[in-house]
Amino acid sequence: MSSTVSQIAEFALSGTENGKITISTITEPYGTGSESVASIGIALQKRAEEPDWKVHIPKENIDEVIEALQKAKEQI
């Protein structure tokens, strides 16, 4: 695979001592010719090599995910 990861942001994961959230873009995440995605990673330890959880969101779904997250925020 020839995917490229470009980090957009990294910030502390609220409610943890050392956790972090990273936002990145990944080109060709599933191999040559696959569509780029936005990636959200959550690590419970700041120096973790790989996140404990991650999600890949296709460009076409980003606006819907943002809208749903805003609704979730209103309900918390």
Per-residue pLDDT tens digits for 23-53: 999 999 999 999 999 999 999 987 888 899 9
**Which spans in the chain are helix H?**
62-75
Q: Is the pLDDT of residue 59 over 70?
A: yes
Output the pLDDT for position 48: 81
Q: Is the pLDDT of residue 5 over 70?
A: yes
Q: CA 22, 9, 31, 49 torsion: positive or negative?
A: negative
